[in-house]
Each structure stands twice: as C-alpha cells, then as structure tokens.
Amino acid sequence: MAIRPEAPAPALWNAGRYGYARQLASPNFGPRPPGTVIDLIVVHSISLPPGVYGGQEVQQLFTNTLDWNAHPYFKSIEGMQVSSHFYIRRGGELWQFVSCDERAWHAGKSCYRGRDNCNDDSIGIELEGLEGELFEPAQYEALASLSAAIAANYPIAHIAGHEHIAPGRKSDPGPGFDWPLMQRALAWNRAQFPDAALFQPDTKEPGAR
C-alpha cells in the first residue's frame, strides 16, 4: 500500500510575519538591539479620530500616509511616525505592519520588569478602540489566538498594557479592557500579567469564590 507523504503545514510564521494577518508594510521600524530576548506583549488601543471606527486612518498613520488636514484632531499628531506590529479591528480582522523580528515604534518612553525602552524587546498589538470604552468579543478572540501564536514562536514571559509600561503618560487600553478574561483565555500564569490588571479595585478577583 502506498504511503502518502503528509502535506506540509502552511508556515505560521515567516521572518517574523504571521501567516493569518493581512500584511501592510510600515516604514516605521528599526533593528532590535543585538541579543534581544523578545519576552513582552504590549496591548494598546487606538482609533482615528478617537472613538471613530471602521476607517483606514490607523493604517494610514502607521504607513505615514495620513492626511493631517482631514480632521482637526490629526493636527495634534501631525508628523508623528509610529507603528505597531499588529492591529486588531472591531470585527477581529488582523493586520500586521512590522515583522516581529524588527523593532516597531509603539511604546515610547517606557519601563517594565526592570527594563526601559520597551520597544526594544516587545511586540505591540493595537486594538481598534478607545481607552475607557469596551472592546468586542471578536477582538479578544483574535488577541488571544494571536498572543498564543506569538508565545509559541517567541519566549513571551509577560503581557501588559501601554498604561502599565508608561504609567502616568499613557492610559490605553484602559479600564474597559478585560484583563481577567485574557488571563482565562490564555491560561497563562497570573505572574505574567501586571498586578494592577488583575486586581482592579472595582472588579472581583478572578477565581475568587
């Protein structure tokens, strides 16, 4: 009887690019420092103009093609050159702008787990949303599966919000983001999450009976 070779599995990762993401290259990136251990996922929220969903403005911002005159708010960020590795839209649609092997520009001045310049050794994921507002179930689903896939390819030890790595300066994704849900979805150790994320004063301790 003939032995049929197994079909090769599609490559999930190719040079830091995730196979299930729509790829749109951003020029806003650079090399990671030599010997970098990529062990942190940073969760953000973004929408342009803030609170308006469904347009192409975030993709335009990350590719330096946003028309600064198209909205009064854009004037306040004119000339900004930023990027993230990933962007998850309200319906769960996933975009990638920068290879995870490269250094994207999402964190800014930041410090976490005793190390500063979190852009050096983190992977940034933007959720289409507004800090303080809720996020969609499809976004949690996409974020959880993406985070698991990242952790299967990189030695991720921590996941945190922009607000946790730049406290006082940044407040995204904000109190509308359900960290306990993420912890349950990923089944990662609680120590991999910021204390503040799982011990919010207005939420019950996850796992409490």
Nearest partner of 77 among 103, 108, 38, 99, judged by Cα: 108
**Sequential DSSP letters for 99-140:** -TTEEES---S-EETTEE-GGGGEEEEEEES-TTS---HHHH
Nearer to Zn ion, 14 or 81 (CB): 81
Residue from the set 32, 44, 89, 164 that interacts with Zn ion by CB under 5 A: 44
CB of 172 to Zn ion, least distance (A): 4
User: What residues from 164 to 193 belong to the interface with Zn ion (CB under 5 A)?
Assistant: 172
Q: What are phi and psi of 39, to 5 degrees?
A: -125, 10
Stretch near Zn ion under the rule CB under 5 A, chosen from 4-12, 23-31, 32-40, 158-166: 158-166
Between CA 103 and CA 83 the distance in angstroms is 9
Mark 61-100 with x for binding to Zn ion (rule: CB under 5 A) and - for no binding.
Answer: ----------------------------------------
Active-site residue 102, yes or no?
no
CA–CA–CA angle 205, 208, 209 (5° rounding)? 150
Amino acid found at 85:
H
Residues binding Zn ion: number (CB under 5 A): 3
Residue from the set 162, 182, 193, 197 that interacts with Zn ion by CB under 5 A: 162
Contact flag: residue 163 with Zn ion (CB under 5 A): no
Structure tokens at 15: 């040079």
One of 57, 93, 102, 126 is an active-site residue; which one? Answer: 126
Between CA 182 and CA 173 the distance in angstroms is 13
Stretch near Zn ion under the rule CB under 5 A, chosen from 4-12, 14-22, 36-44, 142-150: 36-44
Residues that bind Zn ion (CB under 5 A): 44, 162, 172
